[in-house]
Structure formats: C-alpha cells, structure tokens
Amino acid sequence: MQPRRKFVQQLALSTAAITIGSPVIAAFSNQQKKLRMGLIGTGLRGQAHLAMSLDRTDVEVTAICDIDPRMLKMAGDLIKKSGKTAPQVFTGDVYAYKKMLESGKLDAVVISTPWEWHTPMILDSISAGLKYIATEVVLGITLEDHWEVVRAAEKNKAHVMMLENACYRRDILAVLNMIRQGLFGEIIHLQGGYQHDLRGVKFNDGITPYNSGAEFGEKGFSEAKWRTAHSVHRNGDLYPTHDVGPLAMLIDINRGNRFVSLNSFATKSRGLHNYIVKKGGANHPNAKQLFKLGDVVTTQIACANGETIFLQHDTNLPRPYSLGFRVQGTNGIWMNLNNGMYIEGVSKYDHEHWDDAAEWFKKYEHPLWKKWGAEATKTGHDGIDFFVLHAFVEAAKRGEPTPMDVYDAAAWSAITPLSETSIALGNETVDFPDFTSGQWMQRTNQFAKGDQY
C-alpha cells in the first residue's frame, strides 16, 4: 500500500480515468438490475469509493450523504465528470444519513466517516433493513461496540464487511497462495505493523489535508478535524487492521483458529508535541496539548493453534512507511522490510542469504491479481482499493456472504480496546473474546480461493 501522501494524486488519476473512458467491470447480465449503492461520507476516503463505484456498469450510486459542503462539492464534481445520473444528496445535520437509509432506494451502503460513527451507522443500516453494509476501518471504539454489531448482524442476517484493503496486497495474496501450497510448512510466527508517519495527517492548516500546519479539531481539515482527538485521549493500538487483517487470513483466524489473548506496551509520547513546535513554534496554542497515545505501541497475540503475532503501531515519529510483514514457518520465512524470502531446500542460496521475494511472487501470483491486476492498478493504494470494493459489490450482487465478514471485522478491530485495557492494567495479558461463539471450530477459510472476488 502506497504512502498516504500519494493518495490525493492517485485519486485524481482514477477520477481522470473515468472521464477518458477507462474499462469498466460488467459482471451483471443485461437482465439484472444494477446494485443501488449509497455512500455515507464523501470525504477523501469516501470519494475514492465513489470514483470506483461510478466506474462500474453494475453499480448505480443512488444516494450520498455528508455534512461538509466542501466534500459534497468535490463528490459532485466526480459525479459530473463521470456522466452518471446525479444521486440524491442527504445533508443538513449529523443524522441526515438516517433519512438516506430509510429512503428504500438502496441495496447496499458504504460508510466512510470518522471512527466513532461507524458502529451507530452500521446498526442504523441494519435496522433500516439493509443486508449489505461496508464500513471503513475500524468497526467500533469500545469492546461492546463490536459485540453490538455482531449480535445485530446475526439477528438480522446482515452482511457487515470491513473494507480492509491490505488483505488484497499483491505480496500478501502471493504469500497466501504459497502457504496453501505448503511452501512455508506449518506457520509459527507472524509480524506486522501500522508504521506510518501520520503527523502531517493529524495536523494541517485547516485548508489542505496533509503536511501543512499544526491545527487539529475544529481548526483542522479532513482527518485532522477528528482523528487527532483519539491520540489526545487514548493509548493503545489505534489502527491494527491493516497489519493484523492480512495475517489473520494467512492463519485461518475465525475459520479453524482464533485469537486467544493479547498484551500491549506503549512508549512515552513525544512525537506529536515536537511536530507542533516544528510546524507552529513553541508558542503555538497546541504546543500545550498533552497526548495520551504512546509514540510506539507494541502488541503480542497468542492464537488457538499455537502461533504468535507481534504488532506495532508507530504513527507519531519520523519514518518511512511500512507494514513490516513477517511470515515464518517450519520451512521458511518472508520479510517485506528487506523484500526477502527463504524456503529451506528450495531457495537458491543457503541460510546465510535471502532470495529476492519478487521472484517468488511472480511465480506464485494469486489468481485474483492475474485476472484483475490491470484494472486494479488504475485505482488507489496500488490496486488494493479496487479489490476490496469489488469483493463487496460482487457478494452483494450475488446474495452471497462477503469474503471478510462481521466476525473478521470484530476480531481485528477489537485489538484497539483490548490493547487500551492491557496498557491501562500495567501491560497485563487479557483474554480475547470469541465473537463467533464457537463457530470458528467448524468454519473453513474460503477467502480468495478463486479469481472471482
């Protein structure tokens, strides 16, 4: 996944592709209706989903909702450039989305709003009768948020999918393909991290979204308006799903395996204060702000089948972007930090040297990337945005379960409140809830088994 600073540029490129007639996905037959899609949230992330939805012939964007006039204007410009019929716009207050949900004109909804709104919007979507709900990460704030969503989805037979695009990374799917063919042997240990300098996202000048100032909250723009508050008030792994989601799929979590327990540690907090001083000076009002979030948060997870997982949340210090993946089994290891692969008895070097992982990925390219790679790479985040929305749309069209379900969303996202609890208790190990209520023992992993979605 590419660094965030390229996101707006990538969005612009994908938008331009709409206007010049790029190829579109047409999986519906002529006799079938289009999937009627509604989007709650038309910020920069929501606009990425909007652009891809407009570029499909099997989706009709029938409604959009936001309370920010600037974001609605930007979304409106995307729609005009696409030549598609303008959707109904819902705005005016923070609960305008409820009117959209109750309009009866939707088959599916995509939620791209601040984190604290995800759980209530999912629950309201289910209450309105929708059966296909996609949400940006994370699923909820508190542990009870996650249970509420799971219970509501089960009761109403609704499909809730968290749009965790990292599960569709080209390298991750190639590694999944290798694991399924037995090259790594039995998996023993995994690592990953959300290691991404977000100082320029958490603060800006209130006008441009990235790297432009020292304001946040009401004076901030885009994510700085809401996301930074979580760093003020919370101390834990605030964004675990990009790293743990792909790893969970590699070892069948919720499908023959599950998370059992975790513990977390947090360093002191220095990075955000130093950034404010650097951007706004020592006398800037925000230089007095205290931040609860440790600059580096580490989490260890034990799994039912004996694997361990090590996660790092590192967003407040200067560093290049990396998810820091490591997958280690009885036969070999992959590490993405050095682009290295080693499979004992197969690699061309002995155990003192690494193979170039790119050679392995080319050989074990996943069928999804073989089929859709050309289309995918025209969209955001090096193509993975395409795959995650494509999967949601295809499942909704076919009336099938989404490939990543509510149990996945709950398990991956619940790491945040559990890590907060562990840190608050002096790094105590805490039990991990079983959101499947025992179903994990019978479920099988069908994620990315073919080339459809």
Local confidence band at 173 (pLDDT 50, 70, 90 cut-offs): very high
| DSSP strand pairing (326-329 vs 187-195) | antiparallel
Confidence of residue 18 (pLDDT cuts 50, 70, 90): very low
pLDDT tens, 355-382?
999 999 999 999 999 999 999 999 989 9
Compute the distance between CA of residue 222 and CA of residue 210 in angstroms, rounded to an integer.
Answer: 9
Q: Return the minimum-mean-pLDDT range out of 10-19, 53-62, 432-441.
A: 10-19
Residue 11's pLDDT is 44
pLDDT in tens, 114-123: 999 999 999 9
pLDDT reported for residue 196: 98
Distance between CA atoms of residues 416 and 412, nearest Å: 8
Residue 375: CB partners within 8 Å, gap ≥ 6? Answer: 23, 25, 386
Q: What is the dihedral of CA 77, 81, 87, 91, to 10 degrees?
A: 0
Averaged pLDDT for residues 167-187:
98
Mean pLDDT of 283-307: 98
Give the mean pLDDT of 422-450.
Answer: 98
Residue with tokens 């290798």: 178
At 33, the pLDDT band (50, 70, 90 cuts) reads confident
Beta carbons of 253 and 288 less than 8 angstroms apart: no
The pair phi, psi for residue 369, each rounded to 5°, is: -75, -30
**pLDDT the model gives residue 160:** 99
Q: Can you give the pTM of this predicted structure? A: 0.93
pLDDT confidence tier of residue 6, bands split at 50, 70 and 90: very low
* φ, ψ (nearest 5 deg) of residue 344: -60, 130
Q: How far is CA 419 from CA 143, 240, 311, 413, 429, in A?
A: 11, 10, 11, 11, 9
pLDDT of residue 32: 57
Are the beta carbons of 404 and 244 closer than 8 angstroms? Answer: no
* R_g over Cα of the chain: 21
Q: Which tens digit of pLDDT belongs to each residue from 197-237?
A: 999 999 999 999 999 999 999 999 999 999 999 999 999 99
| Pairing assessment for the beta strands 332-335 and 326-329 based on DSSP bridges | antiparallel
What would the mean pLDDT of 388-405 be, rounded to a whole number?
Answer: 98
Given a cut of 60, whether residue 19 has pLDDT beyond it is no
Packing angle between helix 415-424 and helix 143-156, nearest 10 degrees? 150
Q: What is the pLDDT of residue 26?
A: 42
Q: Is the peptide bond before 8 cis (omega within 30 degrees of 0)?
A: no
Confidence of residue 22 (pLDDT cuts 50, 70, 90): very low
Residue 423's alpha-carbon distances to 156, 169, 297, in angstroms, are 35, 31, 9
Confidence label for 30 from pLDDT (cuts 50, 70 and 90): very low
Give residue 350's pLDDT: 84
Which pLDDT score, from 0 to 100, does residue 448 have? Answer: 98
Report how far residue 281's alpha carbon sits from residue 211's, in angstroms, rounded to the nearest whole number: 15
Q: Please say if the pLDDT value at position 23 is more than 60.
A: no
